[in-house]
């Protein structure tokens, strides 16, 4: 398979800028997903010739003549099912994609095996979404697709050195929360423990990417005590190609964007929380975003799991000495997370603020990851319960943050992956009744919306269950991979209907 790495802004230059700046399409992602009808360089040459001649360029007509636009989002899919489990099992087929072939100039990075897309405007695979989608695929008995998803991610690591945000050229400059080791663990639960050693090379390459071992990706930060923690850091400092207009208009007209603004926006996209007050300097405004100055608690918990998984795979290979090194790295990271990210005053795990040299003031649901992955002490779990129950628990589940900013990763929204992390974290520390309460409220909300609309959506308003989830750069999407996966997994776990 030919591997094109040129992004749409590189391929089309001034044409790309003109289309995105003109708002030819309401969604900036439309044009970057379009497929050229001929060689991209020829298209750019034709456009530049028209501009040079002083001709009026009808952009809409020019694009229509030279590009195949992406199909309408899957939000048009209308279910005939009233039973949600049957609906989800049908949706796997709607969201299914065969192994890719690629056209010259397409932004798609072709994958060698079948896969599942989230739905709506998200026409490609997404890294961390896929783990939560797998939870439902496992319940549906779709074990072959699960294995092919893991193979695709292993292939991406082998081909590009990391798993990109999604399989698009414009996502190559960043990854997403590193769930690959949890995917391998899930597959091992289906196929047996030999899976760990099978994917050891890719697990090690994934680790090298995040630890700056093979290239200076700047994800690793050495703390004053010599311990190492990690942050999100996109490799580019320019507006996102898929949100060019939004990024370039964040700064008021006539003012230059501050240095690092675009990288911080992109790095928030790498976090998966795009966008949230979690990353804002003032806690309110996207213009104050400074993602790269935080050491995210969830990222470091996931890397702890990756270190432990590598150690397990090494032992299967008989490489005990190297396995002990990774055990030691995991132990050191656990100690660093507890030292730098635990706020005794709040009784909560938060991101570490490098600028303020303290745990971040505002608690978020990312603080449940140390419980989800077994890093916290039982005493810390006991200390965290009052805040979870009093502030995060809402009628429809748990809310993402305690701030309402209009951003989608803030109140009043709840998201499927964070419900799962919270429920499983509570279960692991013996708080089974509260875990069940969170699950029941989330499932009840999902089912009510499904029965009213026939849809399972990307996010939900957990504070006012009568309102849809909203906020952010685009309308709420339906489909939806990780909602389907978590809903089905929770329904099966707690026998809910």
Catalytic residues: 274, 458
**CA atoms within 13 Å, Cβ hemisphere of 412:** 14
Give the C-alpha separation, 200 to 166, whole Å.
22
Contacts of 107 (CB under 8 A, 6+ apart): 7, 8, 32, 33, 168, 169, 170
Burial 246-259 (b: 16+ CB within 10 A, else e): bbbebeeeeeebee
Tell me the three-class secondary structure of the chain, residue by residue: CCCCCCCHHHHHCHHHHHHHHHCCCCCCHHHHCCEECCCHHHHHHHHHHHHHCCCCCCHHHHHHHHEECCCCCHHHCCCCCCCHHHHHHHHHHHCEECCCCCCCCCCECCCCCCEECCECCECCCEHHHHHHHHHHHHHCCCHHHHHHHHHHHHHHHHHHCCCCCECEHHHCCCCCCCCHHHHHHHHHHHHCCHHHHHCHHHHHHHHHHHCCCCCCCCCEEECCCCCEEECCCCCCCCCCHHHHHHHHCCCCCCCCCCCCHHHHHHHHHHHCCCCCHHHECCCCCHHHECHHHEECHHHHHHHHHHHHHHHHHHHHCCCHHHHHHHHHHHHHHHHHHHHHHEECCCCEECCEECCCCEECCCCEHHHHHHHHCCCCCHHHHHHHHHHHHHHHEECCEECCECCCCCCCCCCCEECHHHHHHHHHHHHHCCCHHHHHHHHHHHHHHHHHHHHHHCCCECCEECCCCCCECCCCCCCCCECCHHHHHHHHHHHHHHCCC
Question: For residue 215, how many other CB atoms are within 10 A of its CB?
Answer: 11
Give the C-alpha separation, 495 to 388, whole Å.
24
Give the C-alpha separation, 426 to 233, whole Å.
30
């Amino acid at each position: 398979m030919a591997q094109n790495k040129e992004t749409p802004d590189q391929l089309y230059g001034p044409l790309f800028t003109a289309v995105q700046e003109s708002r030819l399409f309401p969604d900036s992602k439309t044009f970057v997903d379009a497929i050229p009808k001929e060689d991209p360089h020829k298209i750019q040459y034709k456009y530049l010739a028209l501009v040079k001649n002083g001709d009026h360029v009808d952009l809409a007509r020019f694009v229509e003549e030279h590009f195949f636009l992406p199909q309408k989002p899957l939000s048009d899919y209308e279910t005939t099912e009233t039973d949600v489990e049957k609906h989800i099992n049908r949706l796997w087929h709607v969201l299914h994609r065969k192994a890719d072939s690629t056209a010259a100039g397409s932004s798609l990075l072709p994958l060698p095996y079948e896969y599942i897309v989230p739905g709506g405007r998200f026409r490609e695979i997404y890294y961390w979404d896929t783990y939560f989608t797998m939870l439902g695929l496992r319940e549906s008995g779709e074990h072959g697709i699960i294995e092919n998803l893991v193979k695709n991610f292993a292939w991406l690591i082998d081909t590009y050195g990391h798993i990109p945000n999604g399989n698009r050229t414009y996502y190559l400059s960043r990854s997403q929360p590193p769930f690959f080791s949890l995917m391998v663990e899930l597959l091992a639960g289906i196929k047996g423990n030999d899976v760990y050693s099978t994917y050891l090379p890719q697990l090690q390459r994934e680790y090298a990417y995040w630890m700056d071992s093979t290239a200076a990706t700047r994800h690793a930060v050495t703390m004053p005590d010599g311990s190492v923690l990690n942050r999100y850091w996109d490799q580019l400092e320019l507006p996102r190609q898929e949100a060019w207009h939004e990024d370039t208009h964040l700064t008021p007209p006539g003012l230059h964007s501050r240095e690092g603004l675009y990288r911080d926006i992109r790095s928030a996209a790498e976090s998966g929380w795009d966008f949230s007050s979690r990353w804002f300097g003032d806690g309110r405004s996207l213009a104050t975003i400074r993602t790269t100055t935080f050491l995210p608690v969830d990222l470091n918990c996931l890397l702890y799991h990756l270190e432990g998984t590598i150690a397990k795979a090494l032992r299967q290979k008989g490489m005990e000495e190297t396995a002990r090194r990774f055990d030691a790295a995991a132990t050191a990271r656990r100690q660093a997370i507890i030292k730098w990210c635990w706020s005794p005053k709040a009784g909560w795990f938060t991101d570490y603020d490098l600028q303020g040299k303290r745990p971040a003031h505002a608690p978020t649901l990312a603080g449940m990851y140390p419980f989800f992955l077994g890093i916290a002490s039982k005493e810390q779990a006991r200390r965290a319960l009052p805040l979870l129950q009093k502030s995060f628990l809402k009628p429809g589940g748990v809310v993402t943050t305690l701030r309402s900013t209009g951003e989608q990763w803030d109140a009043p929204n709840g998201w499927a992956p964070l419900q799962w992390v919270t429920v499983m974290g509570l279960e692991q520390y013996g708080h089974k009744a509260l875990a069940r309460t969170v699950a029941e409220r989330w499932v009840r909300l999902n089912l009510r919306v499904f029965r009213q609309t026939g849809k399972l959506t990307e996010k939900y308003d957990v504070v006012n269950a009568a309102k849809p989830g909203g906020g952010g750069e685009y309308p709420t999407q339906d489909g939806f991979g990780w909602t389907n996966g978590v809903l089905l997994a929770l329904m099966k776990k707690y026998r809910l209907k």
